[in-house]
């Protein structure tokens, strides 16, 4: 392989690329993807294979004859080991095992005997898309890269689907452009040597949740150690969130055992009842070698801040725009303290805990045990007896559940017990969403219902996987935003190997009304002091959200002036302006506006990018 272009100011954390087959017509298309400062890796023939932007620390490559492999992202594999794999490769399907064995978070791209293969992560944190451009099938890590090359506009029906709260699987995994195909996280895409035909092949299947916690805890601990070690092994200064919660505290203690110097960052909550600072200080007392930075609570941005100025989104709307300012605010100051990477505890809630929906199956296989646990959940979540009984009796398959949801899009929000013990939260549309939008979203939901399979037959594991993927769709965007500030972020809990280790635990050991995050407590025992493992709650930040609605209502009002969604006939801008003037309206505190705001902000940012950057 030959590198044709040097890097020009590319920083770590924002790697993106397009992949091309070894053909003359593909090489012609590849030239249109090259930009000042872009980088190119070539096939053995000298034709372009990967064109994009990445930092030297984010890529490991190796080749042997007409076979080449590239690992792009965070992975401690070295070029020699990758070279041995390339030399032994006889078929692209053999890469399934390689992808399932490596720690970290990365894209894996290969070329072999003229065919190319690309895949992201099972978590959905790194995605892959493909499209036909001038007769050539091109694969990329971002859908907007392909859409720009095609000069395509977002599909209004896809935008209508994204107004659902929430958009259920598999509707949120599609591309916003009709011409661009999204590859499901569990699949790889293989493009044939003809450069035109492509197929998806499954490389990842979730583990069956059968392991007792006592057996699984050391495996989880090792997976987390490797995930943190993959980011800290080079030493230097690393910053970490230290909220005082079990998730961020675990990451801090693991990072402290590494060659890196740790700067721990704590944002106290505004709510007087928030105990994050107390627990963060408890943890810091056991970490004498770290630098502990405590920020002024009142300096933290509120939810909904700076919605009008966002222009760093990529290829889909994200509800992460609501907290974007809060997430990024302290990163420049941490970079000034020397940090080269910021570690978060995000994802711990999604992998160290799990859905109560597992008890739908457990009631049928271990009824006495399940009934005892369900009594505890009823008390914990205040589930009514009748609603609990109805939810447990509901045995609709996933497709039927989706189809029924399509018939109740304007109904009141479902009861929390139906969500907790069912396939998830049934999607809804609200008063400001137009009938035209409903007429676009409903057929999409029904079409999905006719063919969609759940992520797993057990509704508990389905719910866990869906929550993980919903989380990574947000974090994927935040990671890019953070990289653009100069300090990339990473969330070790969302590495595939960590997710697998946690999902393998029996559900009765993962979720119980009697203990808080027992999986994480067991895995971290001996690393995190017992005093820090005793925390049994987390801060809700509800005051920040409520204050944000009040203080930023002028921005929310301005958002619906000249609304892009309204111009497409998808929302009633007048109704949204009325809501902005009444931030205490019932339901707004439950985030029901998030999907609408996300779509509007994304369309506005897309308009600004089109103005600045011409289509290739």
pLDDT digits 0-9 by tens, 138-155:
999 999 999 999 999 999
The predicted pLDDT at position 7 comes to 34
Tokens 């035909």, located at residue: 197
Q: Mean pLDDT over residues 524-541, rounded?
A: 84
The predicted pLDDT at position 4 comes to 31
pLDDT category of residue 544 using cuts at 50, 70 and 90: low
CB-neighbour burial class of residue 537 (10 A; exposed 0-12, middle 13-18, buried 19+): exposed
The CA-CA-CA angle for residues 543, 544, 549, to 5°, reads 100
Contact at 8 Å (CB) between 243 and 280?
yes
Collect all residues with Cβ–Cβ distance below 8 Å to 360 and sequence separation of at least 6: 391, 392, 421, 422, 459, 460
Buried b (16+ CB within 10 A) or exposed e, 307-341: beebebbbbbbbbbbbbbbbbbbbbeebbeeebbb
Q: Mean pLDDT over residues 588-601, rounded?
A: 89
Q: How far is residue 484's CA from residue 597's CA, in Å, rounded to a whole number?
A: 22
Q: How far is residue 240's CA from residue 109's CA, in Å, rounded to a whole number?
A: 30
Q: Which residue has the higher pLDDT, 194 or 609?
A: 194
Q: Comparing 242-251, 541-550, 607-616, which segment has the lowest mean pLDDT?
A: 607-616
pLDDT digits 0-9 by tens, 234-289:
999 999 999 999 999 999 999 999 999 999 999 887 777 778 899 999 999 999 99
The predicted pLDDT at position 540 comes to 56
Collect all residues with Cβ–Cβ distance below 8 Å to 435 and sequence separation of at least 6: none
pLDDT category of residue 611 using cuts at 50, 70 and 90: low
CB-neighbour burial class of residue 66 (10 A; exposed 0-12, middle 13-18, buried 19+): middle
HEC readout, 272-290: CCCCHHHHHHHHHHCCCCC
Answer yes or no: is pLDDT of 173 > 60.
yes
Answer yes or no: is pLDDT of 10 > 50.
no
Tokens 């801060």, located at residue: 539
Return phi, psi of residue 300, to 5°.
Answer: -70, 130
Q: How far is residue 386's CA from residue 371's CA, in Å, rounded to a whole number?
A: 14
Q: Which of 535, 514, 186, 227 is nearest to 351 (CA)?
A: 227
CA 547 from chain centre, in angstroms, equals 27
Q: Mean pLDDT over residues 528-554, rounded?
A: 78
pLDDT category of residue 612 using cuts at 50, 70 and 90: very low
Token digits of residue 595? 């999907």
Tokens 């509901």, located at residue: 394
Q: How far is residue 162's CA from residue 565's CA, in Å, rounded to a whole number?
A: 11
Collect all residues with Cβ–Cβ distance below 8 Å to 608 and sequence separation of at least 6: 311
Q: To the nearest whole percent, how much of the chain has pLDDT over 70? A: 95
Task: Report all structural domains of the chain as residue ranges with CATH numbers, in order of start.
Answer: 16-154+180-202 (3.60.20.10), 213-352+462-537 (3.40.50.620), 359-453 (no CATH), 546-611 (no CATH)
The predicted pLDDT at position 204 comes to 98
Answer yes or no: is pLDDT of 224 > 70.
yes
Q: How far is residue 545's CA from residue 240's CA, in Å, rounded to a whole number?
A: 24
The CB density around residue 235, as the number of other CB atoms within 10 Å, is 11
Q: How far apart are the first and last CA of the chain?
A: 25
Token digits of residue 202? 């499954």
pLDDT category of residue 609 using cuts at 50, 70 and 90: confident
Tokens 């003229």, located at residue: 114
Answer yes or no: is pLDDT of 5 > 50.
no
Q: How far is residue 315's CA from residue 328's CA, in Å, rounded to a whole number?
A: 19
The predicted pLDDT at position 11 comes to 64
Answer yes or no: is pLDDT of 297 > 60.
yes
The predicted pLDDT at position 213 comes to 97
Helix (H, G, I), strand (E, B) or coil at 341: strand
Answer yes or no: is pLDDT of 538 > 70.
no
Q: How far is residue 262's CA from residue 239's CA, in Å, rounded to a whole number?
A: 5
Helix (H, G, I), strand (E, B) or coil at 79: helix
Q: Which residue has the higher pLDDT, 42 or 275?
A: 42
Q: Mean pLDDT over residues 47-65, rounded?
A: 96
Mean pLDDT, the chain, rounded, equals: 93
Token digits of residue 299? 């300096």
Q: How far is residue 262's CA from residue 290's CA, in Å, rounded to a whole number?
A: 5
The predicted pLDDT at position 193 comes to 95
Q: Mean pLDDT over residues 534-553, rounded?
A: 72
pLDDT category of residue 3 using cuts at 50, 70 and 90: very low
Q: To the nearest whole percent, how much of the chain has pLDDT over 90? A: 86
Tokens 């980088």, located at residue: 39
Q: Point out which residues pair with 243 in neighbouring strands.
A: none
pLDDT category of residue 543 using cuts at 50, 70 and 90: low
Q: How far is residue 468's CA from residue 348's CA, in Å, rounded to a whole number?
A: 10
Tokens 């080991």, located at residue: 81
Q: Which of 143, 255, 310 is nearest to 528 (CA)?
A: 255
Return phi, psi of residue 18, to 5°.
Answer: -125, 150
Residue 374 host element (H or E): helix 367-381
The predicted pLDDT at position 545 comes to 67
**Rg, the chain, Cα only:** 24
Q: How far is residue 517's CA from residue 349's CA, in Å, rounded to a whole number?
A: 8
pLDDT digits 0-9 by tens, 392-441:
999 999 999 999 999 999 999 999 999 999 999 999 999 999 999 999 99
């Amino acid at each position: 392989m030959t590198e044709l272009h040097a890097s020009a100011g590319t920083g770590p954390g924002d790697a993106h690329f397009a992949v091309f087959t070894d053909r003359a017509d593909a090489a012609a298309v590849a030239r249109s993807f090259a930009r000042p400062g872009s980088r190119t890796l070539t096939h053995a023939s000298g034709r372009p294979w990967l064109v994009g932007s990445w930092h030297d620390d984010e890529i490991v490559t190796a080749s042997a004859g007409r076979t080449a492999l590239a690992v792009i992202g965070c992975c401690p594999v070295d070029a020699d080991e990758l070279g041995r794999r390339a030399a032994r490769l006889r078929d692209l399907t053999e890469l399934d095992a390689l992808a399932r064995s490596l720690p970290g978070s990365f894209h894996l791209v290969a070329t072999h005997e003229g065919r190319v293969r690309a895949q992201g992560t099972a978590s959905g944190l790194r995605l892959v898309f493909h499209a036909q451009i001038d007769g050539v099938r091109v694969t990329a890590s971002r859908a907007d890269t392909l859409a720009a090359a095609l000069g395509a506009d977002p599909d209004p029906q896809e935008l209508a689907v994204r107004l659902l709260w929430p958009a259920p699987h598999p509707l949120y995994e599609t591309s916003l452009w009709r011409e661009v195909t999204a590859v499901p996280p569990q699949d790889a895409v293989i493009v044939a040597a003809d450069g035109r035909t492509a197929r998806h092949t499954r490389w990842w299947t979730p583990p069956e949740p059968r392991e007792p916690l006592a057996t699984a805890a050391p495996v989880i601990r090792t997976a987390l150690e490797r995930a943190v070690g993959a980011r800290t092994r080079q030493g230097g200064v690393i910053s970490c969130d230290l909220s005082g919660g079990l998730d961020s505290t675990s990451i801090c203690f693991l990072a402290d055992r590494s060659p890196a110097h740790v700067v721990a960052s704590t944002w106290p909550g505004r709510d007087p009842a928030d105990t994050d600072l107390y627990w963060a200080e408890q943890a810091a007392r056991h970490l004498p070698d770290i630098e502990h930075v405590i920020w002024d609570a009142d300096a933290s941005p509120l939810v909904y801040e700076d919605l009008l100025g966002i222009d760093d989104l990529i290829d889909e709307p994200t509800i992460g725009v609501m907290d974007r300012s809060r997430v990024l605010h302290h990163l420049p100051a941490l970079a000034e303290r020397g940090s080269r990477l910021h570690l978060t505890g995000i994802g711990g809630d999604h992998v160290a805990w799990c859905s109560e929906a597992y008890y739908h199956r457990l009631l049928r296989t271990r009824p006495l045990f399940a009934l005892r646990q369900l009594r505890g959940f009823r008390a914990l979540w205040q589930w009514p007896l009748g609603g609990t009984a109805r939810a447990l009796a509901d045995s609709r398959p996933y497709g039927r559940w989706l189809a029924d949801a399509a018939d109740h899009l304007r109904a009141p929000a479902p009861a929390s017990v139906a969500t907790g013990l069912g396939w998830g939260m049934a999607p809804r549309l609200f008063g400001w969403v137009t009938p035209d939008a409903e007429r676009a979203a409903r057929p999409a939901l029904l079409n999905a219902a006719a063919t969609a399979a759940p992520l797993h037959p057990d509704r508990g594991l389905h719910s866990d996987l869906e929550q993980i993927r919903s989380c990574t769709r947000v974090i994927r965007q935040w990671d890019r935003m953070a990289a653009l500030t100069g300090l990339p972020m990473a969330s070790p809990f969302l590495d595939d190997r960590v997710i697998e280790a946690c999902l393998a635990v029996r559900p009765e050991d993962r979720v119980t009304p009697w203990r808080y995050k027992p999986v994480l407590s067991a895995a971290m025992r001996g690393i995190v002091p017992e005093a820090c493992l005793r925390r049994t709650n987390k801060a809700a930040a509800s005051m920040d959200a409520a204050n944000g609605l009040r203080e930023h209502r002028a921005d929310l009002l301005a958002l619906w002036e000249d609304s892009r969604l309204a111009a497409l006939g998808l929302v009633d801008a007048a109704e949204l302006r009325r809501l902005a003037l009444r931030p205490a309206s019932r339901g707004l505190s439950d985030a029901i506006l998030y999907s609408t705001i996300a779509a509007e902000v994304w369309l506005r940012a897309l308009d600004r990018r089109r103005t600045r950057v011409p289509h290739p």
